[in-house]
Homo-oligomer: A and B are copies of this chain.
Amino acid sequence: MKWVYIEEISEYQDQDIELRGWLFNKRSGGKIRFLLVRDGTGIIQGTIFNPQEESPLFKQFDELTQESSLIVRGKVKEDKRAPGGYELEIKEIEIIQIAKDYPITPKSHGVPFLMEHRHLWLRSQKQHAILQIRAELIKAIRDFFDGRGFRLMDTPILTPSACEGTTTLFETEYFDQKAYLSQSGQLYNEATAAAFGKVYCFGPTFRAEKSKTRRHLIEFWMVEPEVAFALLDDIIKLGEDLVVFIVERVLEERKKELDILERDTKPLEKVKKPFPRLTYEEALQKIKKKGSKMEWGDDFGAPDETMISEFFDKPVNITHFPLSAKAFYMEPDPKRPDLALCVDMLASEGYGEIIGGGQRIHDLSLLEKRIKEHQLPKEAYKWYLDLRKYGSTPHSGFGLGIERTLSWLCKIKHIRETIPFPRLLYRIYP
């Protein structure tokens, strides 16, 4: 009999097939027994009907426990009442292994317990749905950039110097030197953008931040496009196009999972271009009127970001932050040299920043000055300065955080559920 997956079951109506998976749940009703089997691609109900109640299948049914592994064989029957539209008339069961006392039962567990059992928690319906959407989101992002002629250029994780400050870096011995885990591929993207025009990198990034918030992970994934000759406005539009594209894709392809998460999709359906744009100063004024105590020069805190996003029913772009609050490579606004040509995109529904980016300094002497002002080791940036010596051009890019974006799409409270094995302050197990 052919081994098939539940997600392709509709192609096998009235045929005998084999499923391989795990017992999700079971129940009995009179002379009939129901097995809910999951195989990682879906859940299907299998039925055992035997008027004599003496079938060996009934004995196997009694033996099976939650998460026991098994192979079942039987006939696929259409059933409009079944969740996936199909049922399996079970003819044979092969028990592979009986799971004794599976720790995650239908009763509710505390988060520390679930985090300690993350390797099993992944099997439960909600976590499964979130990570299916994660895979879809990542595929959508890659399709977006590949479809627009961007070249994937992997940037290094082990780097000799820091991109944005050194306080939150993981350090390791690299033979006779020190190396640091990358916080961003941006600087390297600037080199590959000068070679390939339009590039993106997509990989894990690391921040050794001692903060324990719902929005922070120690290890998270980020996609970072960079475009030679692009100005701030070009990159804002690129970010809007990207976010509209991924929202549409997830709504189209992952309806079932959004349903499992009970995600109200109406707010996502409103994510259409153009997004509202505010300058930093306009946004500051708006939240001050609402009672925020933030001062010019400060960065927006999480409550400020939530307050701003509540003015709109779409993601919002905030531009022109004070240069003093931003990284050394930010291009100043020629009309207001105290402001940076930069953008933060805040997700709607109070989810905060998902994109940060802007235009990079392309003038050699200005960049040298900034490196000095920020007391960065000039020698380590020699190659980065070369990019301004040999065919410098205006160029811009941004980074989009995968886990924050996924938190928003799934409307879940804590970012720890958006990655298979979250790395948090003091948590590195499993």
Interface residues of A (CB under 8 A from B): 3, 5, 7-8, 20-23, 39-41, 67-69, 71, 96-97, 99-100, 102-103, 117-120, 122-123, 127-128, 131-132, 134-135, 138-139, 142, 146, 149, 151-160, 170-177, 179, 181, 188, 191-198, 203-204, 206, 208, 210, 218-219, 221, 228-229, 362, 380, 382-384, 386-387, 389-394, 419-421, 423, 425-426, 428-430
Contacts and interface: CB of A to CB of B under 8 A. Distances in A.
Contacts of A171: 172-173
Contacts of A67: 390-391
A92 to B, nearest CB: 16
Contact of A157 (B134, B138, B157, B159): B157
5 contacts: A96-B393, A132-B151, A153-B420, A191-B420, A204-B204
Contacts of A156: 219, 420-421, 423
A173 B170 contact: yes
A131 B151 contact: yes
Question: 9 tightest CB-CB pairs across the interface, nearest first?
Answer: A40-B197, A383-B430, A119-B191, A122-B195, A69-B391, A40-B196, A99-B390, A20-B229, A67-B391
B392 A97 contact: yes
B158 A423 contact: yes
Contacts of A394: 96
Copies held by the complex: 2
Contacts of A425: 175
A21 B197 contact: yes
B40 A428 contact: no
A23 to B, nearest CB: 8
Nearest to A169: B172
A430 B151 contact: no
A119 B383 contact: yes
A403 to B, nearest CB: 10
A172 B181 contact: yes
Given A158-B206, A383-B119, A69 B99 contact: no
A420 B188 contact: yes
Contacts of A172: 170-172, 181
Given A152-B139, A172-B170, A172-B181, A194 B158 contact: no
A329 to B, nearest CB: 15
A267 to B, nearest CB: 26
A420 B155 contact: yes
A102 B370 CA distance: 24
Nearest to A102: B390
Contacts of A195: 40, 122-123, 127-128, 131
Nearest to A426: B175
